[in-house]
Structure 1
Amino acid sequence: MRIGLLGTGPWAKVAHAPALNEHEELDFTGVWGRRPEAARELAGAYGVRAYDDLDALLADVDAVAVALPPQVQGELAARAARAGCHLLLDKPLALTVEQGREVVAAAERSQVASVVFFTTRFQPEAEAWITEQERAGGWFTARAEWLGAVFSADDNPFAASPWRQEKGALWDVGPHALSVLLPVLGDVRQVSAAAHGPGDTVHLVLDHTGGASSTLTLSLTAPPAAAGTHVELRGTTGVTSLPEARQPAVPSLVRAADALVTAARTGRPHACDAAFALRVTEILEEAQELLSGAR
């Protein structure tokens, strides 16, 4: 599968480009970026072509990996799907439900596969744990804490990201938490409550179709010593927690690319496809509306 990379920022450099380059079933074909000089630099590091014309890249590949801000990703992912390209996307899918729907509709019309890189879902230990808890069922409550120090630690490469500064933890780490909880507890019937905490911290209470409720605490401004991730489930089988992630981003992204290749080959949608990411976006938008009213 010939694949092109859209984006030249920190995440493209440290995760996407290395993963595409080392994947045995992908032919890393070229790079396009909003800054042509950055595209040339990144493409040169991997001996691939830098494209100034996005449409030319889309015509040369079977798939694209997108490492761009979500408001840009939504528009270009729909454009790539209309050109017949399979989609390896990042979270969040988009910053509005409307734009997310455009991506899903374009992918469905063109019958292209899509996989959205919810990092935790492509880590082996976490994937096995989620599958096991989904089968177990009987969950009563869940607690998810996704506490980052993007804005409180020194020299974090993502702290200068305008969309993270505007949207904060809800839209950055919220998708990760939801990607773990939804397959285990079921869809969200309602965002029952939402409240602001210190910095960009938000607290959510969710009502799930499986009968359980969950609480989420999300932050990018946690003190570095307090940063970390914890997910705990309590139910008829007892108490269990999400295992600590051991796999770095690049191998996890390689696994996401594996999933895209399989979905494209078989025609069977992956659990983390654009439609699932759209549902996550809908929940985030509902939470954002509650938070806006809470100020």
Structure 2
Amino acid sequence: MDRPELPLAQLHAFVVLAEELHFGHAAARLGIAQPPLSQQIRRLEEKVGHALFHRTPGRVALTAAGLELLPAAQRALTGLADGLAAARAAGSGRAGRLRIGFAASLALTFLPGLLRTFRREYPDVRLDILEMTTAPQLSALRDRAIDVGLLREPPAGETELGCETVLSEPFVAVLPAEHPLASQRTVRVGQLADMPFVLLPRTAGPGLHDQIAGLCAAAGFTPRVAQRAVEWQTVCALVGAGLGVSLAPASIRRIRLRGVAFRRIEPSAVRTRVAVAWRRDDANPLVANLLATVRQGPA
């Protein structure tokens, strides 16, 4: 047997009358005249198949059927109100779920301030923060596995994704603390020519990898890679263990590891870019609100 559908207007009229137990007061609260209210209640009673109110001169009372329906009707109306509020919040970008990919090194600089600012403005948004290097972020954006990416050296000529530079920073030399070059305040890139390197694989971030290779090429050599690691903290740990040297974004200096020294390099003009990336066709207001927060600058 099919269950009858109960129009929300009729449920609303029923609940208000059940609370007021007076047709005149209930009609005034609903902003309608008494005859339309009586019609709403009558139609609802027809759908239920039983009277919901005892009507006597000067007195209205709930029947057994009315007493049974009232809690369910109240829950239905409350659920609808909550759903409408949630829908409005999601539609305005003030609630919902936002998935953000980020390069690990940004946890040392840009990311904490951005998240603090965004959470202060949008406390009801659920943030899923996913650590991943540049290439996986770009794939995840295209596959709609994340909504926004914070990455290094996005590729040029993107049409599907929008990208904006957030900040740029120079490179530093990463050396074992006991290395002879660690006694210098500045290291020329060419001085690293004969040393083994610890680098990220190109597949993790082609743009950044090519920048480092370009720095070495400009100094007249190709880096001899002895070890590869996906995360900068691991790169620094391997350098500290004496397995090689590296060139890294300057923010990596905030990784505090014993046995590792960071030194400015010459030439110093080459800088690595940090960018925010998103799908151009994404109409999610949460994405627009995060982009607006990014454009405000650091907290």
**TM-score normalised to the size of structure 1?**
0.29
Return the index of the structure with the highest Cα Rg.
Answer: 2
**TM-score normalised to the size of structure 2?**
0.29
